[in-house]
Amino acid sequence: MKAVPEAPRIWLTTILFASTGLAAVTLVPLYGFMVGYHWYQWLAFAVLGAFCGFSITAGYHRLWSHRTYEAHWSLRLFYALFGAAALQNSALIWCSGHRRHHRHCDDNEQDPYSAKRGFWFSHIGWMLREYPSGEVDFDNAKDLQRDKIVMWQHNNYIAITVAMNVGVPLVLGLLTGDVIGMLLLAGILRIVVNHHTTFFINSLAHIWGRRPYTDENTARDNDLLAFFTFGEGYHNYHHIFQTDYRNGIRWYQWDPTKWLIKTASWFGLAHNLKTVPAMRIQRAMLTMQFKRAEQKLENSKHKEGWKQLLEREAQDFSASLAEWKELQQQRYENARERLVEKWENAAVRTRVKELEYSLKMQRKRLQIMMEQFHLAPAAA
């Protein structure tokens, strides 16, 4: 059998990842042992790392890739500068590839970093060779090509990247009297940490965690990853509701990117923040619970006795969804007829809240049923 030729290597990214990674595990600790680092160098590492991280999560990802909100030009410029400092390519290229990932998630032929091709490939391997799935195509990014700041960054990416990754640490080093220490911490180590926290979303967030909203793709929710990735770890939610500016929708879920966007809106720097209706979220969660309950019932000795109860719950679920859809249709019709006051009627809004509460209670009943008969599913 004729061997399939390996994709050509991309030497620029190979050398970049190899050299920065090697320097981070050798030069950084060696200099720390021989000379030592000052607190202000660690502060620069943390602050610049946060600026770069937020520019990827709030800028490249939630603003430009998914249009979950709109931002003032000054905030977009900040994202463009520190997004370049994150050294993950221009916003145009990054967002175009990410949109393909969402459209063709887990398709090994079209998803640029499909997790089904293994951890190494989805984490970093996809950037080291010229795979067909990673070919640059801006047909899905026409809107970004009309954004002057995005195109300014794209056309001047190398100059901006050098200025942000060499110039900024160099100036800070000159001001504080230790150029090498600042370049190592605020430059090299910060780049490597920013790289891999982002890469973990492409890899681990599609391998390790829960799937409470959908099992139609490999994306997972993972609280630990969310902590290290500025809230991006709630990836199962994101993949089914990608137009929501939030990833962690609960008040207690760690999503500093969501908090940043919300805070920016208070100062007029962000607006038109998009969220998903609570009923759609409840519907997704209940759909998954029903699916898992049915799977567990198939292997349970209580199958016949509890099948009717599950069917009754499913009927209630369908009835609630039908009523919610009818209310939604009424809302759209009223908007078209400029009769918004009908939708604002307290009785209608109260009924929507009642339906949301009904679905929450139904989720709890299903959970109790599965626990009582040892049907609780393992974390998917």
**In this predicted model, what pLDDT tens digit does every residue of 54-108 receive, in sequence order?**
999 999 999 999 999 999 999 999 999 999 999 999 999 999 999 999 999 999 9
**Amino acid 155: pLDDT:** 97
Return the bridge partners of 234, or none: 221
**Amino acid 278: pLDDT:** 83
Quote the tokens at residue 150.
Answer: 């995005």
**Amino acid 220: pLDDT:** 96
Smallest CA-to-CA distance from 222 within 256, 253, 261, 252 is with 253
C-alpha distance from residue 356 to each of 64, 127, 329, 346, 352 (Å): 31, 44, 17, 15, 6
How does residue 2 score in pLDDT terms, banded at 50, 70 and 90?
Answer: very low
> Region 239-250: what's the mean pLDDT?
95
Q: Is 260 helix (H, G, I), strand (E, B) or coil?
A: helix
Whether pLDDT at 376 is above 50: no
Smallest CA-to-CA distance from 260 within 1, 62, 21, 9 is with 62
How does residue 279 score in pLDDT terms, banded at 50, 70 and 90?
Answer: confident
Pairwise CA distance, residues 218 & 303, whole Å: 29
**Amino acid 380: pLDDT:** 44
- How are the residues of the chain apportioned to helix, strand and coil, as percentages rounded to the nearest 5? 70, 0, 30
Whether pLDDT at 174 is above 70: yes
Pairwise CA distance, residues 75 & 59, whole Å: 9
On average, the pLDDT of the chain sits at 86
Pairwise CA distance, residues 89 & 161, whole Å: 9
Smallest CA-to-CA distance from 66 within 253, 265, 241, 284 is with 241
Q: Find the Cα–Cα–Cα–Cα dihedral 244, 258, 186, 93, rounded to 10°.
A: 10
Q: Which helix (H) or strand (E) holds 101?
A: helix 91-103
**Amino acid 4: pLDDT:** 42
Pairwise CA distance, residues 109 & 103, whole Å: 12
Residue with the bigger pLDDT between 355 and 375: it is: 355
Residue 23: CB partners within 8 Å, gap ≥ 6?
Answer: 184, 188
Pairwise CA distance, residues 215 & 157, whole Å: 38
Q: Any idea where the domains of the chain sit in the sequence?
A: 11-271, 278-372
> Region 279-283: what's the mean pLDDT?
82
Whether pLDDT at 336 is above 70: no
Long-range contacts of 155-160 (CB under 8 A, 24+ apart): 157/84, 157/89, 157/90, 160/80, 160/81, 160/84
Pairwise CA distance, residues 67 & 167, whole Å: 31
> Region 147-161: what's the mean pLDDT?
97
> Region 42-63: what's the mean pLDDT?
97
Residue with the bigger pLDDT between 332 and 38: it is: 38
How does residue 7 score in pLDDT terms, banded at 50, 70 and 90?
Answer: confident
Pairwise CA distance, residues 182 & 190, whole Å: 10
**Amino acid 319: pLDDT:** 61
> Region 236-263: what's the mean pLDDT?
95
How does residue 378 score in pLDDT terms, banded at 50, 70 and 90?
Answer: very low
**Amino acid 288: pLDDT:** 83
Whether pLDDT at 258 is above 60: yes
Smallest CA-to-CA distance from 50 within 351, 256, 221 is with 256
Pairwise CA distance, residues 318 & 358, whole Å: 12
How does residue 379 score in pLDDT terms, banded at 50, 70 and 90?
Answer: very low
**Amino acid 285: pLDDT:** 83
pTM over 0.75, yes/no: yes
> Region 205-228: what's the mean pLDDT?
94
pLDDT digits 0-9 by tens, 288-315? 877 777 666 666 555 555 555 555 655 6
**Amino acid 92: pLDDT:** 97
Do 107 and 95 contact (CB within 8 A), yes or no?
no
Q: Look up residue 261 and give its DSSP letter.
A: H
pLDDT-wise least confident of 170-179, 209-218, 279-288: 279-288
Pairwise CA distance, residues 274 & 285, whole Å: 20
